[in-house]
Amino acid sequence: METFLIRALQLVMSLSILVIVHEFGHFVFARIFKIRVEKFYLFFDPGFALFRYKPKNSETEYGIGWLPLGGYVKIAGMIDESMDREQMAQPPQPWEFRSKPAWQRLLVMIAGVLFNILLAFIIYAMVLFTWNDTYLPLRNVHNGMEFSEVAHKVGFQDGDILLKADDKELERFGVSTLLDIVNARQVTVLRDGQEVVIPIPENFMNELMAAKEGFATYRFPTVVAEVQEGSGAAKAGLRSGDSLVAINGVPTPTFIDFKRELEKNENREITIEFYRNGILNTTVAQVDSTGLLGFYPKSPMQIYQPVTISYNFFEAFPAGIKMGIQTLKDYVNQFKYVFTKEGVSSLGGFGTIGSLFPPVWDWHAFWMMTAFLSVILAFMNILPIPGLDGGHVLFLLCEVISGKKPSEKFLEYAQIAGMIFLLALVLYANGMDIIRAIFK
């Protein structure tokens, strides 16, 4: 329950920041062009609001709604989610959105996306300035990778060290590296000291998505980092730094091997062989009903040699912009898979997004995830779908090119159709979360 609450709090806090910044972009540009903004709300407020405030002599009411599906600014003279037909039936006023030139309306509509992208750049820059960039080079993972069954079928073997995708050197393991691999014709690995070339099939990504196994994880030995008080590991006398190498005589050279053997021995006593200060020892431990001993292992970053790149304040900004652009490129490259059968089945809603946050509060992870979601929000909002900013941009570009403004009735119907589609998409994505939670 505590884990759920921590993740839920991080999700609400992150999305609130993103929504406020996005809507503030629309607000700022509307005010620059002297367009009246009637409301600025975090969350939607059908029927009532949790909080509302209108400063003296202000045209704008600020508030917090009760429906946490985003937020909005109600711009006078604009067909949006408020569907204010009464206002649109009145003659256009100079301070209204519809009375302004197309180029001004276009800038107002793209401002939200622009502010989300800028926010991502700033967050990435500040993360690099505050925490630096620490990563684990693939060549430093001396035990190589542990590959999924789908990767095995292609030709990868456990222990392979990833070197190149086509002619591109693979430096670190992450989304960019995975995309380089699945889009490559061949991948070069280091196997038993020899370079081996593995051909990559065109449908490799679809196969990975269908199997829901992922591609690979780090192979690393089982070294105790911390023992939980009162656990089976504590009662067996295990300590931080112990290297666990066998269970009941079965060698466990990697943590994955160790976990597999533990799962075979739920609610049983096992004999563990381990090294402490270079000396081989043996102990007996009780495995609990979930197949755990009660210790935290050292991570690959603690076992292998990571690399840290430090940035001063001024160096962090170009590096943060580069990181934001790379994140956007990676997401765009992944987006095509949404339209496959495997992609549709893997869609998720707030539950899926919330699960991306760590189960304990970590400011570095929180800000990295917030920057990532800011990039996603910017990209998704610029898609040419009525109801999104991109839908408004599409119609405005058509107006600029043709010189003819679409009728308000057409824009109203398009807005309704877009909102129905988006609502159905939200219901489907969150419904998939519920189904996965029930049948997992």
Average confidence (pLDDT) over 222-240:
92
Percent of the chain with pLDDT over 90: 58
Q: Which range among 119-128, 238-247, 378-387 shows the weakest confidence by mean pLDDT?
A: 378-387
pLDDT reported for residue 180? 93
Q: Which two tokens stand for residue 365?
A: 């992870």
The domain segmentation of the chain, as residue ranges, is 2-127+372-439, 138-218, 222-298
* 332 has a pLDDT exceeding 60: yes
When pLDDT is cut at 50, 70 and 90, the band that residue 14 belongs to is very high
pLDDT at 17: 95
What is the distance between the alpha carbons of residues 149 and 413, in angstroms, rounded to a whole number?
A: 49
Q: Which CATH number fits domain 222-298: 3.30.470.30, 3.30.70.260, 2.30.42.10, 3.30.70.270?
A: 2.30.42.10
- The C-alpha angle with vertex 120 and arms to 119 and 125, in degrees rounded to 5, equals 100
How far is Cα 127 from Cα 70, in angstroms, rounded to an integer? 25
In the predicted structure, residue 83 carries a pLDDT above the cut 60:
no
Do β-strands 133-135 and 307-309 pair in parallel, antiparallel, or remain unpaired? antiparallel
If you average pLDDT over residues 251-257, what whole number do you get? 94
Size of the chain in residues:
440
Quote the mean pLDDT of the chain.
89
**Which CATH class, in words, describes the domain spanning 138-218?**
mainly beta
Amino acid 81: pLDDT: 61
DSSP per position, 159-223: T-EEEEETTEE--B-SHHHHHHHHTSSEEEEEETTEEEEEE--TTHHHHHHHHT--SEEE---EE
Cα gap 352→319, rounded to integer Å = 29
How far is it, in rounded angstroms, from Cα 175 to Cα 332?
12
Closest CA to 204 of 220, 239, 234, 180: 180
- Report the pLDDT averaged over residues 103-117: 94
pLDDT band at 361 (very low <50, low <70, confident <90, very high): confident
3-state class of 75 per DSSP? strand
Q: Do the domains 138-218 and 222-298 sit in the same CATH topology, yes or no?
A: yes
Q: Which of 78, 71, 81 is nearest to 106 (CA)?
A: 78
Mean pLDDT of 109-118: 96
Report the pLDDT value the prediction gives residue 416, as an integer from 0 to 100.
83
Residue 62: is its pLDDT beyond 70?
yes
pLDDT at 32: 95
147 band by pLDDT with thresholds 50, 70 and 90: very high
pLDDT score at 169: 94
Residue 97: how many CB atoms within 10 A of its CB? 22
Q: Is residue 428 within 8 Å of 350, Cβ to Cβ?
A: no
222: Cα within 13 Å, side-chain hemisphere: 26
| Model pLDDT, residue 111 | 95
Crossing angle (nearest 10°) for helices 204-211 and 175-182: 120
pLDDT by residue (tens digit) across 286-319?
Answer: 998 888 899 999 999 999 999 999 999 999 999 9
Q: How far is CA 140 from the centre of its chain?
A: 26
Structure-block tokens of residue 165: 């995708």
Residue 86 has pLDDT above 70, yes or no: no
Residue 354 vs residues 14, 359, 396: alpha-carbon distances, Å = 10, 10, 35
Average pLDDT over residues 400-419: 82
pLDDT of 343 higher than 70: no
- Residues 42, 19: contact at Cβ < 8 Å? yes
Spatial contact of 287 and 266, defined as CB atoms under 8 Å apart = yes
Q: CA-CA distance, 398 to 404, in Å (whole number)?
A: 8
